[in-house]
């Protein structure tokens, strides 16, 4: 079945440590996204990528980094510079948006990151 796979489901980070969240899609989608979800705040965009080897900062990119070396993969690194990393992280993909922005995004099941 086509879809988006995020791993691990749960992740724990020690102080000063970088951690990487995996996101893989087999939907052949061009665009991929990372969101952070905090209780009562909805989803906020961290980074997005419209095409391989290119990505743009979203609304809350500080303390995060990404790469897009392959179409199907868009890993997110939470660096030690992110002082409040505890959250639920969601990866999504879409088949481009064209002019009208009417293509829906498809989401993975998320990774819950906590601080030890």
Partner 1 sequence: GDSVTQMEGPVTLSEEAFLTINCTYTATGYPSLFWYVQYPGEGLQLLLKATKADDKGSNKGFEATYRKETTSFHLEKGSVQVSDSAVYFCALSGGSGGSNYKLTFGKGTLLTVNP
Interface with partner 1 (CB under 8 A): 4, 6, 31, 33, 40-43, 45, 48, 50, 58, 90, 92, 94, 96-102, 104-110
Nearest in space to 90 (alpha carbons), one of 58, 28, 44, 54:
44
CB of 87 to partner 1, least distance (A): 14
CB of 57 to partner 1, least distance (A): 11
Q: Which is nearer to partner 1, 33 or 64 (CB)?
A: 33
Nearest in space to 32 (alpha carbons), one of 51, 19, 59, 9:
51
Distance CA 106, CA 29 (A): 10
CB of 99 to partner 1, least distance (A): 7
Distance CA 69, CA 54 (A): 9
CB of 105 to partner 1, least distance (A): 6
Task: Calculate the dihedral angle through the C-alpha atoms of 87, 90, 96, 100, rounding to the nearest 10 degrees.
Answer: -60
């Amino acid at each position: 079945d086509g879809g988006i796979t995020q791993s691990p489901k749960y992740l724990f980070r020690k102080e000063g440590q970088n951690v990487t969240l995996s996101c893989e899609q087999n939907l052949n989608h061009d665009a991929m996204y990372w969101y952070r979800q905090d209780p009562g705040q909805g989803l906020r965009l961290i980074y997005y990528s419209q095409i391989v080897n290119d990505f743009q900062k979203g609304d809350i990119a500080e303390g995060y980094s990404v790469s897009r070396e392959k179409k199907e993969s868009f890993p997110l690194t939470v660096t030690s510079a992110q002082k409040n990393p505890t959250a639920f992280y969601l990866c999504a993909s879409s088949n481009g948006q064209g002019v009208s922005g009417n293509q829906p995004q498809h989401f993975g099941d998320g990774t819950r990151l906590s601080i030890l």
